[in-house]
Amino acid sequence: MALDLREATGGERDPATAGGYAEPPERVGFFTDTSVCIGCKACEVACKEWNAVPEDGLLFTGMSYDNTGSLGADSWRHVAFIEQPRRLGRQETHLAPTELPPDLLRSAGGRTAVSLGLPASAPPDGHVAAAADMDFRWLMSSDVCKHCTHAACLDVCPTGALFRTEFGTVVVQEDVCNGCGYCVPACPYGVIDKRPSNGLVSKCTLCYDRLSVGQEPACAKSCPTDSIQFGELAELRERAAGRVRDLHDAGVTSARLYGADPQDGVGGAGAFFLLLDEPEVYGLPPDPVVTTRDLPAMWRRAGLAAVGLLVALAAVTIPGARR
Amino acid sequence: MRQLPIGSWPVWRQLTGADRTGRAASVKSRRSDALSARTASADRVVKSICPYCAVGCAQNVYVRDERVVQIEGDPDSPISRGRLCPKGAASLQLTTDSGRLDKVRYRPPYGTQWQDLDLATAMEMIADRVIRTRRETWQWEEEDGGLLARTMGIASLGGATLDNEENYLIKKLFTALGVVQVENQARVCHSSTVIGLGTSFGRGGATTFMQDMQHADCIIIEGSNFAEAHPVGFQWVLAAKARGATVIHVDPRFTRTSALADLFVPIRAGTDVAFLGGIINHVLTEGKDFREYVLAYTNAATIIDERFQDTEDLDGLFSGFDPQSHQYAEETWQYEGVQLVSASGERDNQYMARQAAQIDRPGSPGRDAGEHGSGEGEKHGSGTAALDGQARRDPTLQDPRCVYQILRRHFSRYTPEMVERICGIPPEVFAEVCRHLVDNSGPERTSEFVYAVGWTQHTDGSQFIRSASILQLLLGNIGRPGGGIQALRGHASIQGSTDIPTLFNLLPGYIPMPHAHKAQTLDDFILADAARKGFWANMRAYLVSLLKAWWGPAARADNDFCFNYLPRITGSHSHYDTTLEQLGGTCKGYFLLGQNPAVGSANSRMQRFGMANLDWLVVRDLNMIESATWWKDGPEIESGELVTERIGTEVFVLPAAAHTEKAGSFTNTNRLLQWHHQAVEPTDDRRSDLWFMYHLGRIIRQKLAGSTDPMDRPILDLTWDYPTTGSIAEPVAEAVLAEINGWNSDGRPLSTYTELADDGSTVCGCWIYCGVYSDGVNQAARRKPAEEQSWVSPEWAWAWPANRRMLYNRASARPDGRPWSERKKFVWWDEEVGRWTGYDVPDFEPTKRPDYEPPDGARGVAALRGTDAFIMQADGLGWLYTPTGVADGPLPTHYEPQDSPMDNLLYRQQRNPARLLRPHEHNRYHPNGSQRGAQIFPYVVTTYRLTEHFTAGGMSRHTPYLAELQPEFFCEVSPELAAERGLVHADWATIVTARNAIEARVLVTERVAPLHVDGRIIHQIGLPFHWGPNGHSRGDAANELTSISLDPNSHIQESKALSADIRPGRRPRGPDRVALVRDYQRRAGITERTGTEA
């Protein structure tokens, strides 16, 4: 029996309805507007406090103000910091005198000579600042599980530990997970991770326990500048589109949405973002695809091959055919 | 195990239900099905306030089975709107983490280990030590007969993290014990604010409130890293930005605040007076001042004494400077013909002059307290100017001696070119700031200034704030919506610990502590220290009501209401002077109440040496801070300079209760008193400071009962009978609040300070807080949700004074009482009902007509005209020029920091001539500018906070969720400096001053740009100051590097701008660390006189 997994997850349909929930509530999610993020990391702490996620190491990374590093089993929110020689809209930074006399420039070592080895300190288009071009911006963005419409982690989970909730979110059930780890490589964003202390997988639940009593997730609730907004996905997408228009009008032409498009490789993310640069700059995959996308076709081909093989085998083994 | 029906099996559900692929409804486990939020199942939700910074975010504390299970923001708050920063979000871990102190720890003299001690014994022992030390060090009078009635043997530090009620008991008990060295974080954080704002406008608090920021058209954030240090408050900056405001950030570093600003202006640390002076000059020369406002509401037209000489005349000095004492006599600064007293700052310095001027009290004895080396600027003059009357004014502003013209001359040399040469700000950038500010000021538009300790912590920090005050008065931005000066304070109740001051020089409500004078009566004191016009003219009523609150029936008219029970000050007894008293052996006992000077105070090494010289030390904190353990594992133990077995200090460490474990009020950065209720009782030995102070006082009074020694009268006569509750006999905080509020002779709670009387018939512990318990209701506990009231939210908690949210809001209307514009309407005169009305409680007598003119000879409040918007001022006006009250001059003047690599390009006078220095072998200063040896310390250092940590780390480095976010101490340097000194990113660097050497991880970043200053490149080094050797996240303390060099008004240290050297690699260990510092001193030719010239 060949099963179309994408069909099964509902295609364009609401994932909760597709998951067998009768009359589910509206699908909810996060809209993270990084243009107002102040990098305070309240989301990281509020998440840990609510979900009792353990502290996971005192590592000074040197990556700007980011000492969390990445999302992981013990970091369900991660704030990225990107220091860039680029201009933010009409912001003026005046970070360096633009006309240094040559001798001073020499004594100052020049502003382009030193490589910091910082991640993404240059944007992907290879733009390199010249000595006189001291445009600068400091981008901050709080990353989280995307709660994909087509979630590969769900597809590959053999135990039913990962499941789609009635809110359309994707949650790991600790009491079911056996730690097989299939979901870890299945995630196109590298979000899912195993916790070393118990071997089980853990990630953002979009505060499933809070949703069920009508409360918003802890990170969104704490966010001082409303960079993380929680709500019904459809409404959030509208709001986000408006915000992009406003920013474009304000001269921030690099503003774009990431994960808001239901036509993208994961069928649209339940947690999507307004970014000010290419996704790679923030450590996000530019064109994520549900890793199980080709599974039905693969199964079909494998089935066909198996059938073909069986036919061929039959051809050579059925006694009558030998003659 | 219970048998489950087959229908609940996942496989059955999958096969029979709609979820055929088994990825949703059918695989939901029983546990998932039963999940419920602990916020929903809590037994109760207790209303609280965040204990970290002073934004005052409201919290909901969820309690189940008498345990706190969750803390989150309260969406009802009009200030925080339910949001919390990482620290606020970590307050569950702060209060419930297993690492918190729970038992008393005791270290006997010369002991090497902690010992157990039960709490009751500890309390008895501490009480014995207080009594003994007090008796051994008691001083009745000075050599010349001035009354002292005090002890210098005991000191106390801390209070800004505590409740108002706790601060009240601390000040009350210690004052009754004769302890004058009572200080708190406000000294080292925002004391300059009280001087700067207080002398300019009349009150030492921020002039506005958080939500009003959304109405600003331009916001200049300077001397503050708003987004990082007060993240939740920053939402209002973004709200303004969303409404079209221009946000400008002026700072030595590009910070998380700059990241969201429209315009970032890098500045050399410590040069803000030159920058702001440049803007003032621009406004004056271009005629951009808001003339109608300036004429009506400021002292621009007032004529100054003809003897006054400006820095223009004396190359950086004002008239009246005495090079021997490094102090100014200010009589030449006064208004012509009138002698005023300021609303803040030093008010006793005219004691003699005012005594002399009081015709009916000729020859009243007095003395010059200045001879005690106070550095306090207490001088007597021989002035004969009148104490009453209106000074002469020239409304044309043409008189060369009017304030406006003096201002013009004074700031004329602060040109854009000078700004560039001094601050490193190019003229076109400077012009842009001027344009934004000027274009967004006037009847239709307003601009707001926001600052924090980037302005206060300088040897002329008070003058930084004065500069902004002048600018905002000239532009007409004070008392108006979207305008004002927002002082961002950084402890939950640091405004409260200034209002109810655990500060040596103040009594509750900014009444000055009396100085030692011979045969001084209550009336003498009032005559010298109280203004004759405005609300300070009622100082006698405020003080008598306070004395009645403290000494009850013992305070009678025939004994001056126990005025002589108050111990007297003789100059400065500020935190840093206490350190010197400890080193000198005078101060023998020390209380640390939630403050960590071994990390948080300047020259932290000196702090530890001071504590090593004590007889006894009491530390009360949540965690085992460095100030409690230096005798065992401090840096001086490692270097061998101190040896544990030879340290005689007896140490008591008492675990404190968290904010969730006690009730009380915090006063936020906008004077808003917000009550936090007790959620659970503290466990083990944890106790509130209310409990500690109350029971310490009770035990001491028990032990002294029956004493006939007159020195014990103040403590035995003290009103100290608060009701207690619960199993641990916790004093009832509301009873203390009721005393702070006060009552009349019938015992009825007072509703406002205008009800206070000077005849002893009213009781009031802090006159500016009068009304917080009106009608017997705790107004600070009001929590009417923001959505159910106007944006001003007057029914959310209670603000002093009289629940006014914006100070001086009379100025939001024209002199005739109409709003300046529809757009900037706030408070106005309603002719029909004959009252002031508007969105806020008017900061004015409600029925005084705008055209009211006082009759001849009017005094006090009656002498205020209908246009005198600054009702606390002695002339009812905003002070562009301070004729009195500011020790280092009536106008701000640019001086270089104490340790600076630059010469002062504006004047021959290099540094603030009146700054306070404390030369000591542990406190050496650097050569400056072109002086020989200055090149040894070529870089500028500035210190600051990070979002993820809190002050000296006692409330963040021990908290794992915060520690992991910023796990190590680091320095921020530019790529250029890294190249110049061979510093490697993420590796180590050593930073050295003449005080100490520390190591930090290197963070190379373009956010710290080298500045092009007067033909040189100046590199700046950024140092977050949170670290110390204890806790979860550890590192060297930045304050090892800073020196004790102080603002003469506020006694604040200069920790925001100093010079230093930096080199790659880790610092030397053990004695080599000291040797390295000595070597630097030798190379720079540093002696005990370096940097001490006037």
Q: Mean of the pLDDT values across residues B625-632?
A: 98
A95 pLDDT more than 80: no
Residue B565 lies in a domain: yes
Alpha-carbon distance B780 to B737, whole Å?
A: 10
Q: Residue B116's domain is classified under what CATH number?
A: 3.40.50.740
Residue B2 lies in a domain: yes
> Best interface-test mutation with A: which of B224, B268, B1006 has the largest number of A CBs within 10 A?
B1006
Q: Do A45 and B968 count as a contact with CB atoms less than 8 A apart?
A: no
A304 pLDDT more than 80: yes
Of B801, B159, B1000, B802, which is closest to residue B500 (Cα–Cα)? B159
B374 pLDDT more than 90: no
Residue B972 lies in a domain: yes
Alpha-carbon distance B677 to B741, whole Å?
A: 18
Q: Do A116 and B227 count as a contact with CB atoms less than 8 A apart?
A: no
> For position A12, what pLDDT does the model report?
58
Instruction: Note whether B441 and B539 are same-domain residues.
Output: no
Sheet with strand B263-266: strands edge to edge: B263-266, B246-251, B218-222, B447-451, B485-487
Alpha-carbon distance B35 to A51, whole Å?
A: 12
A182 pLDDT more than 70: yes
> For position B522, what pLDDT does the model report?
97
**Residue A320 confidence class, pLDDT cut points 50, 70, 90:** low
Domain boundaries, chain A: 8-290, 293-323
B235 pLDDT more than 80: yes
Residue B43 lies in a domain: no
Using an 8 Å CB-CB cutoff, list chain A residues near B968: 58, 60
> Which of B711, B744, B769 lies at the terminal end of a domain, its last residue?
B769
B363 pLDDT more than 60: no
Instruction: Note whether B479 and B522 are same-domain residues.
Output: no
A131 pLDDT more than 80: no
Taking residue B247's Cβ as centre, other Cβ atoms within 10 Å add up to 24
B361 pLDDT more than 50: no
Q: What is the pLDDT of residues B582-613, one digit of tens each?
A: 999 999 999 999 999 999 999 999 999 999 99
Q: What is the pLDDT of residues B70-98, one digit of tens each?
A: 999 999 999 999 999 999 999 999 999 98
Q: What is the pLDDT of residues B320-329, one digit of tens each?
A: 999 999 999 9
Instruction: Note whether B629 and B573 are same-domain residues.
Output: yes
Alpha-carbon distance B310 to B318, whole Å?
A: 5
Instruction: Note whether B9 and B158 are same-domain residues.
Output: no
Tell which B residues from 946 to 985 touch A, by Cβ distance under 8 Å: 946-948, 960-968, 970, 975-976, 978-980, 985
The mean-pLDDT minimum among A15-29, A90-104, B892-906 falls in A90-104
Instruction: Note whether B604 and B477 are same-domain residues.
Output: no
Residue B611 lies in a domain: yes
> For position B2, what pLDDT does the model report?
55
Q: Mean of the pLDDT values across residues B287-303?
A: 98
Q: Say what percent of chain B tops pLDDT 70.
A: 97
Tell which A residues from 10 to 29 touch B, by Cβ distance under 8 Å: 15-16, 18-22
Instruction: Note whether B526 and B584 are same-domain residues.
Output: yes
Alpha-carbon distance B413 to B422, whole Å?
A: 12
Q: Mean of the pLDDT values across residues A74-101?
A: 80
Q: Which residues have CB under 8 Å from A309's CB, separation 6+?
A: none
Taking residue A61's Cβ as centre, other Cβ atoms within 10 Å add up to 14
Instruction: Note whether B593 and B707 are same-domain residues.
Output: yes
| Total domains, chain B | 4
Q: Do A138 and B256 count as a contact with CB atoms less than 8 A apart?
A: yes
Instruction: Note whether B134 and B257 are same-domain residues.
Output: no
Residue of B nearest to A228 (CA): B83
Instruction: Note whether B200 and B294 are same-domain residues.
Output: yes
- DSSP conformation class of B741: H
Q: Residue B956's domain is classified under what CATH number?
A: 2.40.40.20
Tell which A residues from 221 to 250 touch B, by Cβ distance under 8 Å: 221-226
> Which of B429, B463, B496 lies at the terminal end of a domain, its last residue?
B496
B241 pLDDT more than 60: yes
> For position B339, what pLDDT does the model report?
85
**Residue A321 confidence class, pLDDT cut points 50, 70, 90:** low
B37, B962, B1010: residue with CB nearest A213: B37
Instruction: Note whether B572 and B637 are same-domain residues.
Output: yes
Q: What is the pLDDT of residues B3-48, one digit of tens each?
A: 567 877 888 888 888 888 889 999 999 999 999 999 999 999 999 9
ipTM of the complex as predicted: 0.95
- DSSP conformation class of A193: E
Using an 8 Å CB-CB cutoff, list chain B residues near A215: 37, 39-40
**Residue A135 confidence class, pLDDT cut points 50, 70, 90:** confident
Q: Which residues have CB under 8 Å from B96's CB, separation 6+?
A: B67, B68
> Which of B446, B470, B496 lies at the terminal end of a domain, its last residue?
B496
Q: Do B258 and A65 count as a contact with CB atoms less than 8 A apart?
A: no
Asked if residue B443 lies in contact with residue B413, where contact means CB atoms within 8 angstroms, the answer is no
Instruction: Note whether B511 and B446 are same-domain residues.
Output: no
Alpha-carbon distance A301 to A309, whole Å?
A: 12
> For position A119, what pLDDT does the model report?
40
Q: Do B1009 and A212 count as a contact with CB atoms less than 8 A apart?
A: no
Of B414, B413, B421, which is closest to residue B268 (Cα–Cα)? B421
Q: Mean of the pLDDT values across residues B111-119?
A: 98
Using an 8 Å CB-CB cutoff, list chain B residues near A218: 72, 89
Q: Which fold has domain A8-290?
A: Alpha-Beta Plaits (3.30.70)
The mean-pLDDT minimum among A108-112, B262-266, B729-733 falls in A108-112
Q: Could you tell me the two tokens for B816? A: 């005739």
Q: Say what percent of chain A tops pLDDT 90.
A: 72
> For position B355, what pLDDT does the model report?
76
B200 pLDDT more than 50: yes
> For position B369, what pLDDT does the model report?
35
> For position B3, what pLDDT does the model report?
59
Tell which A residues from 93 to 132 touch B, by Cβ distance under 8 Å: 93-97, 100, 104, 107-111, 113-114, 116-117
Q: What is the pLDDT of residues A143-176, one digit of tens each?
A: 999 999 999 999 999 999 999 999 999 999 999 9
Using an 8 Å CB-CB cutoff, list chain A residues near B53: none
Q: Which residues have CB under 8 Å from B916's CB, separation 6+?
A: B375, B459, B572, B1045, B1046, B1047, B1048, B1051
B378 pLDDT more than 60: no
Tell which A residues from 183 to 222 touch B, by Cβ distance under 8 Å: 207-210, 212-213, 215, 218, 221-222
Q: Mean of the pLDDT values across residues B519-530?
A: 93
**Residue B775 confidence class, pLDDT cut points 50, 70, 90:** very high
Mean pLDDT of chain B: 95
- Beta-carbon pairs below 8 A across chains A and B: 277
Instruction: Note whether B518 and B454 are same-domain residues.
Output: no
Enclosing domain of residue B433: 192-300+413-496
Higher pLDDT, B10 or B66: B66
Q: Could you tell me the two tokens for B611? A: 């504590």
> For position B346, what pLDDT does the model report?
80
In terms of residues, how long is chain B? 1094
Residue B396 lies in a domain: no
B373 pLDDT more than 70: no
